[in-house]
Amino acid sequence: MQTQAERGIYVHVPFCGRKCQYCDFHSVVADDTFVGSYFDAFRREVDARASQLGNHTFQTLFIGGGTPSVLRVARLEQLLDLLHRRFSFSEDAEITVEVNPSSLSAEKLQCLRSGGVNRLSMGVQSFEPHLLQVLGRLHSVGQVHESFAAARRLGFDNLSVDLMFGLPGQTTAQWQSTLAAAVQLGVEHVSAYSLILEEGTAFYRWAQRGLLALPDEDTETAMFATAMHDLPAQGLEQYEISNYAKPGFASRHNILYWTGKPYLALGSGAAGWWQGRRYINTRNMTQYMRGWLEQPAEEPLDLEEHPDLDQQMDEYMMTGMRLLAGVHGPTFADRFGRNIQDVYPQQVQTLLERGLVQWTQTQHLQLTWTGRFLGNLVFSAWLR
């Protein structure tokens, strides 16, 4: 029997045109032969997971990375065709692909459109040419404008940009003009993240040696506040701590993560949550390819666990509180058979007293304005 519960699929494409200086996402620069072998293994994974699946309809598909748009047109076509053949999507499914302006062409956009893609998430990061250079991005500001215009011409009406603040040498005024440029483009959605120094990246090493002039904490807080003011003032409501959207354009796929809905994961390094099981496909590409090509009965995983009810509740609170709407008390109680206040009496009381969270009349526990600035304290409070 087919059920209508919400569920999604995440596909990780672990390839990029060049590695950015700050990036610790799972991605490599590879030649076409390697990419071809990888996709032979990927097809096996898709076949194996799809045949174990039973009859499910998916409401979202998110193809991320890495940079899916570095794939050549024929491969993009095959990828979309494979996913549509092996999985069933609802008629109004949200189908997103992450793209970079440097690797996008009219032909690729056309291929995505014909393959049912109805949402693009573009890695823009900044509208300041020198900051793009500092980040090691391959695209120019001009290419962002060209890609947007081309996408609109082909009928894409749900476009998102990723932007970053807290960058080396970045001023609040520069951040403000990047936000204004995104608004000017007419995007439907903005993801605005602060730079995190991840171990193993070039930025991390440079920072250790005192070579990165990063904005101080007050400036970074001011930048966050600027986004929370400027984007909603232009009709892009903040619906999650780092995400803003015009009405009706919040990312359905990401909401699925934040509300504990199931999603399949496909591709090296992808993390899934499916039927009470959390799994992460191995990041080791050789192991991934060997595993699926030679021993498809054994999934090549980096992690597999079956979180108990306590862990599930903790995670639900941790991710749910990221949404500005907060966590709905009765929904929590329906799902877990207990009330938030009974499971977390101390945490709720402390956060209420500190003015970081509040109960609404609709029984949502949500971040206060102050709580948005100290989000990490709130998100980590539920882990027991």
Q: Which is nearer to ligand SF4, 100 or 281 (CB)?
A: 100
Q: Residue 25 or residue 359: which is nearer to ligand SF4 going by CB?
A: 25
Query: In angstroms, what is the minimal distance from the CB of 243 to ligand SF4?
Result: 17
Nearer to ligand SF4, 17 or 262 (CB): 17
Rounded to the nearest whole angstrom, what is the least distance from the CB of residue 177 to ligand SF4 in the complex?
22
| Residue (of 338, 336, 323, 322) closest to 375 by Cα position | 322
C-beta of 63: minimal distance to ligand SF4 in Å? 13
Report d(CA 225, CA 364) in Å as an integer.
23
User: Between 19 and 290, whose beta carbon lies closer to ligand SF4?
Assistant: 19
Are 166 and 220 spatial neighbours (Cβ–Cβ below 8 Å)? yes
Kindly report the number of other CB atoms within 10 A of residue 143's CB atom.
18
The three-state DSSP-derived secondary structure of 305-360 is: ECCCHHHHHHHHHHHHCCECCCEEHHHHHHHHCCCHHHHCHHHHHHHHHCCCEEEC
Q: Which helix (H) or strand (E) holds 177?
A: helix 172-185
Which of 122/321 has CB closer to ligand SF4? 122
Who's near 263: CB < 8 A, 6+ residues apart?
A: 7, 8, 9, 10, 60, 253, 256, 257, 272, 273, 274
CA–CA gap between residue 6 and residue 266 (Å, rounded): 18
At 114, list the tokens.
Answer: 């014909």
CB-wise, 193 or 373, nearer to ligand SF4? Answer: 193
Shortest gap between Cβ of 67 and ligand SF4 (angstroms)?
Answer: 5
Report, in Å, the least distance between residue 68 CB and ligand SF4: 10
**Nearest approach, Cβ of residue 18 and ligand SF4 (Å):** 7
Positions that interact with ligand SF4 (CB under 6 A): 16, 19-20, 23, 25, 27, 65-67, 100, 123
